[in-house]
Amino acid sequence: MPSEHLRSARWFEGDDEVALLHRVAMTSVGAEVDRAADRPVIGIAHSASDLNPCNLPLGELTEAVREGVLAAGGIPVVFPTLSLGEDLMKPSAMLYRNLLAIEVEEALRSYPIDGAVLLANCDKTVPASVMGAISADLPSIVVTGGTRQPAVFQGRRIGTGTDLWRITEDRRAGLVDDEAWAELERSLTCGLGACNTMGTAATMAIVTEALGLSLPGTSTIPAGTPERRAAAREAGSRAVELVAEQLRPSVLLTAESFANAVRVLHALGGSSNAVIHLTAMAGRAGVHLELDDFARLGKDVPVLVDVEPSGTALIPDLHDSGGLPAVLAEIAGLLDLSSKTVGGDIASIVASAPAAGPVIRPMAEPLKEAGAFAVLRGSLAPDGAVVRTSTASPGLFLHEGPAVVFDGYDDMRRRIDEPNPHLSEQSVLVLRGCGPVGGPGMPEWGMIPIPAVLAKQGVRDMVRVTDARMSGTSYGTVVLHVAPEAAVGGPLALVLDGDPIRVDVEGGTVELLVDEDELTRRRAGWSPPRWPELRGWVALYRKCVTQAPAGCDLDFLEAPTPAHRVVVEPVVGRS
């Protein structure tokens, strides 16, 4: 490859002491370059960590990627990144998504890297890596690590997350004893990889493939399989070709490709968190993607993928049914087929897609019509909120009831099961102070548990309203991402116990039925929450994070329009 096409040549070409030192540094780690500097350097970023069972399989995939890069004539260089996982990070891995995006962007920009393979697997690691790659705008390809094996509990196969929440509800209702609870814990220790339901990790892996940043058919391959390793090796080889073709994110990620991804999200019955992540990714690409676009683009897209929590199967079953290519073929009439991907345009992927298996419903026999999400606005959410309708109860789509208010997660956990004479099945559970600023980081606390007294009566769903997120493995009639959030003075901050709240999912409204004069009086008495003095990342995050409808990115990281995009390259010289 001619060196003038390689940015790494600025480090390695020539005979001066600066180029010599750069070549010595590479040779010292086993990545030899010569003065011609005509082989592309491919950065292999991975987020494997012992603290993150979801991402730990990525470590062994780096060698497969390295093999692919070498086979295609490139120079592989492996580097670690921050590992984000909801299992152990508190209050939420979402607090650190933007930090990882910065790390990826700056590593790609500051080192002699011509193209990148991004190994990511957890629900925040995937969008963070993509956001960083978009901003750096080097030819990049994403390799995900796959989902873990299904667990078996009491003789039946169960999925990660979704079935845990269902069994937890039964335990709160007194239907699961300590022995069964201990058996569940043993069952869920079923290996490494991402959640095997349509949680955020699987959703973002598939959506990233739909955007065009992963090889076709690879996002649903289970973890730890020869097929997964072969896909990683192929991605390494393809990364070298992407550099030769200069197929950058700015070429692939158009308004049409984001529209395709949103439609795929609806067909999947995917995670509500993908609404935030896709918006943030579009913002990095200079593509204008609004909350209402998710409703508009999904109105003609039925939910077709029969995977928990919208359906009954698991991600390995989706893979056996043809994976994303088969889904794309089923909804091809709704897609922009000319959109490019790292593995050809959508039309070519559809043309070679396998026949859809039983987990992918035909358009004429969907799990649900008219999309997986509704966008609500009204006096309680002037800037919008989201409901995942594919996992909600249609009987609660039109509901009015008195508020039961919780100020933060600790307050909710402390009081959710306390006696409350005003609590009934009609009540609307309100959790506030858990948004991007209030959390901080907008934790996945939105699926408020059904109070034990009601759970024991057989209640399994209630209307819940919150400025938090919920896990993609969760379900229920939950009005999420209420904006503006309570911590910045949104109307949610003004709600009192007993206030009537009216939700109309099909009408797209969520209203606080309190007289405006009364709300004005309450607003005059409201003051922002006081937090301990902050430092470091959390202080910067709270100062600069945007609200949910804008993707919860940091305001100074959003891209200008592509026509005005400026990529800052380092000055290469002696340190």
Q: Which of 180, 202, 163 is nearest to 327 (CA)?
A: 202
3-state DSSP percent of the chain in helix, strand and coil, to 5: 40, 15, 45
**Cβ atoms of residues 97 and 169 within 8 Å:** no
Q: Which residues pair with 501 in a beta bridge?
A: 401, 512
154: left (phi over 0), alpha (psi -120 to 50) or beta: left
**Cβ atoms of residues 406 and 446 within 8 Å:** no
Secondary structure (3-state) at 385: strand
* CA–CA dist 134, 82 (Å, integer): 18
Q: Which of 200, 170, 202 is nearest to 184 (CA)?
A: 170
Continuous H helices in 496-535: 516-525
Q: Residue 456: how many CB atoms within 10 A of its CB?
A: 13
Q: Which of 394, 369, 404, 375 is nearest to 476 (CA)?
A: 394
Q: Read off the amino acid at residue 358.
A: P
Continuous H helices in 432-515: 452-455
Q: Which domains does the chain have, with CATH numbers?
A: 40-149+191-351 (3.40.50.2300), 151-188 (no CATH), 374-525 (3.50.30.80)
Q: Which of 324, 117, 104, 79 is nearest to 234 (CA)?
A: 117
pLDDT at 567: 53
Helix (H) or strand (E) holding 374: strand 373-378
**Cβ atoms of residues 123 and 245 within 8 Å:** no
Q: Which residue has tokens 């991600």? A: 315
The 8-class DSSP code of residue 45 comes to E
Q: Which residues pair with 344 in a beta bridge?
A: 342
| Helices and strands per DSSP (H, E), number in the chain | 20, 14
Q: Which of 125, 120, 117 is nearest to 42 (CA)?
A: 117
* CA–CA dist 298, 302 (Å, integer): 8
161: left (phi over 0), alpha (psi -120 to 50) or beta: left
DSSP secondary structure of 214-255: S-TT-TTPPTTSHHHHHHHHHHHHHHHHHHHHT--HHHH--H
Q: Residue 333: how many CB atoms within 10 A of its CB?
A: 8
Tens place of pLDDT for every residue, the chain, 575 residues?
655 679 999 999 988 999 999 999 999 999 988 888 899 999 999 999 999 888 888 999 999 999 999 999 999 999 999 999 888 899 999 999 999 999 999 999 999 999 999 999 988 999 999 999 999 999 999 999 999 999 899 999 999 889 999 999 999 999 999 999 999 999 887 679 999 999 999 999 999 999 999 999 999 999 999 999 999 999 999 999 999 999 999 999 999 999 999 999 999 999 999 999 999 999 999 999 999 999 999 999 999 999 999 999 999 999 999 999 999 999 999 999 999 999 999 999 999 999 999 999 999 999 999 999 999 999 999 999 999 999 999 999 999 999 999 999 999 999 999 999 989 999 999 999 999 999 999 999 999 999 999 999 999 999 999 999 999 999 999 999 999 999 999 999 999 999 999 999 999 999 999 999 999 999 999 999 988 877 899 999 999 999 999 999 999 998 775 554 555 567 676 65
pLDDT at 189: 78
Q: Which of 194, 196, 199 is nearest to 268 (CA)?
A: 199
Within 13 Å and on the Cβ side, how many CA atoms surround 365?
6
Within 13 Å and on the Cβ side, how many CA atoms surround 455?
19
**Cβ atoms of residues 235 and 68 within 8 Å:** yes
pTM: 0.96
The 8-class DSSP code of residue 29 comes to T
The contacts of residue 538 (CB under 8 Å, 6+ apart) are 95, 440
pLDDT at 54: 86
